[in-house]
Amino acid sequence: MSGLGGLNKSPQGVVLGLVQLQNPIVVTPDDLAAQTRRVVELVGKARRNLPTMDLVVFPEYALHGLSMDTNPEIMCRLDGPEVIAFQTACRDNQIWGCFSIMEYNFHGNPYNSGLIIDDHGELKLYYRKLHPWVPVEPWEPGNLGIPVCEGPNGSTIALIICHDGMFPEMARECAYKGAEIMIRTAGYTAPIRHAWQITNQANAFCNLMDTASVCLCGSDGTFDSMGEGMFVRFDGTPIAMGSHRPDEIITAELRPDLVREARRHWGVENNPYQFGHRGYVAVKGGAQDCPYTYMQDLVNGHYHLPWEAEVIHTDGTSCGFPSPTRLYRGEELPILPSSQTTKQS
């Protein structure tokens, strides 16, 4: 159902390209500028590579590599030159793009942020990673929730980042807010390969939602990222899977119309609906309570595991980061550009 990688596009289809970007080394502002130019070049390559492509997706850390460097001199801002370059590239090439930035934070550690920009160069979705990969990553926990946006050809799209996809609640929230396609960008390395594949499939099937996921690729001399662009149909079946070749663009056609059809007509395994309508065969409309202790405790600020006191790693000291002293307060929300049309709760 991939339309030969999007070569044969149906009237209802959305063609995505997943860029297995070469893992970069970025230390200085000049490095950042050079890597920005490289990403822009690949936006152009994506358009030339496949005229039917609607949206090109770059992996997490596409600008900054895997160094975890929080140097303010190489952090990005929404109104900075890197984002402006992405907007110009999308407009000039008449293609949507999904990009990754490490975003300067006036109040603490930088955010790990993702952007979706349309083919007119307008910011359509802005997301901050909710679940940094602790204890390895130093990023501030996101405070924007999980937005969705209207994408190409009437689709509804959500974006999550890397470790986010290991929490089933993240994908369920995307579906609950209407996403038919969930993009997952990542910088994962080979030890995560199996978990990457099964969670991409489970996130799709459990939510009747197409998933499109991609990692960085190749070595920076220290870390070897795995590439492995991956499209999964809403029934959990892989449509297309990438290799380990840096800068290869993996493509497929996704069908949001078939996602909508399944969500309306499936009886057995209509998981998103049945989750909130338990046992509707026995009781009218099904039970619509919340029987999950962890959800109730989390909402009430009492989340506590039975083994909580035995957990060893509760900060980033094992990875060389100082133990934090400030409590999470959500921090100040950004002032978004007026062109943003993100649907947020």
**185: how many CB neighbours lie within 10 A of its CB?**
31
The catalytic residue among 60, 82, 103, 140 is: 60
Are 17 and 248 a contacting pair, CB within 8 Å?
no
Radius of gyration of the chain (CA): 20
Which structure tokens are listed for 296?
């109730």
| Whether 129 is catalytic | yes
Q: Is residue 36 classed exposed, middle or buried when 0-12, 13-18 and 19+ CB atoms within 10 A define those classes?
A: buried
The catalytic residue among 76, 90, 98, 129 is: 129
| Whether 180 is catalytic | no
> CA 270, 272, 274 angle in degrees (round to 5)?
60
Element (H, E) at 113: strand 111-117
Q: Cα–Cα distances in Å, from 207 out to 30, 130, 165, 305?
A: 43, 19, 13, 26
Picking from 92, 94, 3, 88, the residue whose alpha carbon sits closest to that of residue 51 is 94
| Whether 60 is catalytic | yes
The catalytic residue among 76, 98, 162, 174 is: 162
- Catalytic site residues? 60, 129, 162
